Amino acid sequence: MPLDFLQDSRIIIDVIVNKAFKFRIYPNQEQEQELAKQFGSARFVYNHFLRQRIDFYAQHKSEKKQGLNFFDTSKMLTELKKQPEFEWLQESNAQSLQSALRHLDVAYNNFFNKRGEFPKFKSKRSKQAFTVPQSFVLDVERKRLRIPKIGEIKIVPHRPVEGTIKSVTISKTSSGRYFASLLCEVELHPPKPASQSEIGIDLGLKSFIVTSGGERIESPKFFRKSESKLARLQRRLSRKQKGSNRRTKVRLKVARLHEKIANQRADFLHKTSRRLVDENQAIYAERLSVKNMVQNHCLAKAISDSGWGEELRQLEYKSTWYGSHFGQIDRFFPSSKRHADCGWINENLTLADREWTCQGCGEIVDRDLNAAQNILIFGKGRMAGTAKTKRAGRHRVRNRVAEPRSCPL
């Protein structure tokens, strides 16, 4: 099918997006102590006012009063810092504490708009972070990042920073590493795709991705490969006495191995998604509900190790950034059961059947390849129908404007 309908229906325009650049930082011992204060203050403010908002709702539920918002909690924070028992909050950057309140307000809005779960209390064991919205300075030549109340911290900018820096988030992982994430406002100029090809992709466990063109990208299974080593370290950790230095050393080894697995998976997903976007003008995939799929205890570990949801998320935003089209079809579309050539549907197909014989034409069908081809056919059909509707609407508007008005005389 020619790609004229895709080119007509999609106009490539400049877009402004928020893009994060994450770099490793190396604070000294004094700076680590100051960062610990900032982490603790931001965590305390978040948890304290989360409790305040929960209690306020419980007390005024019958009165149907509007709950606390960011401005209410901001005024309460100013009064809280004046109390003698909370004077230590003044040692932290005031803007960072305000950012913690904004994050809490965003979490509440996401919950009420059904975009996320109810906010949870932060723990010391989880990832520690605080945001600096202003008064920071990045010196790329000297490799230094100046943070209020902290001073200049050594930073390793391994790639150039684009756009305008809006805020900086300092974080500490459970393995003891420090990072600075620079949120930048970038104006993108999506180029025209170099390739005119279109593909449908089917995500699976046996093969991570099978394309409609027959390419198979095998799943690296990083967690499975490191599972035995992780089990040995966790057994060693369970034998150590709590609070001892040896337990701390083993705990760091466990955390670093988990971090290595996450970095390996992220590197694989980024490289795969970028290559697919660069090589194709349009990509079609099935809309998956990973949250419901991991409830199957037999496949939950394998599904989580694959990273399907993250791959689809990266394909979506990278297609916007680099001028490609990404579309998703309904999850209930029988992509595996329907034969792409003749349209016969195999109602008795099970998950164990990797190949099946079509009763309509007698051909032996590869399950994953057939699903990818069906996704491509259905995705192109939907895109063509959308473009046809837009063109018809545009012609109707033009014809209506071009009609001469009747003269009352």
Q: What is the residue-averaged pLDDT of the chain?
A: 87
Active site residues: 202, 286, 368
265-281 mean pLDDT = 94
Instruction: Quickly state the pLDDT bin for 165 (edges 50, 70, 90).
Output: very high
- CA distances from residue 183 to 15, 103, 129, 168, 208 in whole angstroms, order as listed: 16, 15, 14, 6, 31
Q: What is the pLDDT of residues 37-82, one digit of tens each?
A: 999 999 999 999 999 999 998 888 877 777 899 999 999 999 999 9
Q: Are 319 and 364 in contact (CB under 8 A)?
A: no
Give the pLDDT of residue 350. Answer: 83
Highest mean pLDDT among 286-300, 351-365, 374-388: 286-300
Instruction: Quickly state the pLDDT bin for 16 (edges 50, 70, 90).
Output: confident
Residue 397 predicted with pLDDT over 50:
no
End-to-end CA distance of the chain: 52
91-100 mean pLDDT = 95
Give the pLDDT of residue 403. Answer: 37
Q: Are 98 and 74 in contact (CB under 8 A)?
A: yes
The DSSP code sequence of 26-63 is E--HHHHHHHHHHHHHHHHHHHHHHHHHHHHHHHSTTT
Between 316 and 392, the more confident residue is: 316
Least trusted range by pLDDT, from 24-33, 263-272, 322-331: 322-331
Residue 402 predicted with pLDDT over 50:
no
Q: What is the pLDDT of residues 380-392, one digit of tens each?
A: 887 665 545 555 4
Helix (H, G, I), strand (E, B) or coil at 179: strand
The pTM is what?
Answer: 0.83
Residue 6 predicted with pLDDT over 70:
no
Q: Are 96 and 142 in contact (CB under 8 A)?
A: no
87-114 mean pLDDT = 94
Q: Are 171 and 122 in contact (CB under 8 A)?
A: no
Residue 400 predicted with pLDDT over 90:
no
- How many residues in total does the chain contain? 409
